[in-house]
Amino acid sequence: VEVTSNITYLSIQGRYKRFYDIFRSLFYRMLFMAGVPEPRELATDDDITFIMDRFLELEARPGIKECFALLRGAGFTVWAFTAGDAKRVGGYFERNGIEMPAENLRSCDADGIGKPDPRAYQPVLESFNGEEAWFAAAHMWDASAAKGCGFRGAWCAVYEGEPCTDLFGEMDVMATELPEMARKIIAASEGQEA
């Protein structure tokens, strides 16, 4: 949370930094904030490298492969827009056997503007040239920000569990699991009740 908050804060100031750079810089501060009085006596830069390397091994959320297959089968082109590094996120897809063409994977790093700044979502939305554009996420803040910029919004509880609609508003589609979210997007896109 500390890293993503600082990505946002720096982006708002016009001083965007990549996730890796912020994590590396904040590592010792996060240890201190967690109660470690002398973080540099506990950990080293090698520990930072070890942790960052483990990020490359993250597993995909359950049901994402089926979710993408359902959407593609219904004629949707699936894109990914990440606050992370495109190479790292592309590696997640590849290691988990999920098709995601490099040209369909966009990172905030490309424009140097972090989510949830509306300026981050706007170029992505504009690339759809007025066609129906859905933004689906497991972070309600992300889906909500995209919806506020003009996307149709979909949220899945697979990561956060609680939607906190009192904070983020209602989405066009809300689901418990990723394949369910895909089915609801397809239905809503066809004018059926989601």
Q: pTM of the full predicted structure?
A: 0.88
| Residues 48 and 85 both lie in one domain | no
Q: Are residues 70 and 35 in the same domain?
A: no
In a domain, residue 79? The reply is yes
18 lies in the same domain as 90: no
Q: What is the pLDDT of residue 98?
A: 95
Domain count across the chain:
2
Same domain, 111 and 183: yes
80-83 contacts at long range (C-beta below 8 A, 24 or more positions apart): 80/104, 80/105, 80/106, 81/106, 81/107, 81/108, 81/121, 81/124, 81/135, 82/106, 82/107, 82/108, 83/4, 83/7, 83/19, 83/107, 83/108, 83/114, 83/115
Which tens digits make up the pLDDT trace of 19-72?
Answer: 888 888 999 999 999 999 999 999 999 999 999 888 878 889 999 999 999 999
pLDDT, position 194: 61
pLDDT tens-digit readout, 158-187: 999 999 999 999 999 999 999 999 999 999
68 lies in the same domain as 119: yes
Residue 1 pLDDT greater than 70, yes or no: no
The rounded mean pLDDT for the chain is 93
Confidence of residue 152 (pLDDT cuts 50, 70, 90): very high
Residues spanned by the domain of 78: 64-189
Same domain (yes/no): 71, 91: yes
Tell me what the mean pLDDT of segment 97-126 comes to: 94
What CATH number is given to the structural domain containing 165? Answer: 3.40.50.1000
**Given this model, what pLDDT does residue 23 score?**
87
Residue 194 placed within a domain? no
- The whole-number pLDDT of residue 26 equals 92
Whether residues 118 and 71 fall in one domain = yes
Say if residue 17 is in the same domain as residue 98.
no
Same domain, 81 and 160: yes
* Three-state SS letters, the chain: CHHHHHHHHHHHCCCCCCHHHHHHHHHHHHHHHCCCCCHHHHCCHHHHHHHHHHHCCCCCCCCHHHHHHHHHHCCCCCCEEECCCHHHHHHHHHHCCCCCCHHHEEEHHHCCCCCCCHHHHHHHHHCCCCCCCEEEECCHHHHHHHHHCCCEEEEECCCCCCCCHHHHCCCCEEECCHHHHHHHHHHHHCCCCC
| One domain, residues 35 and 68 | no
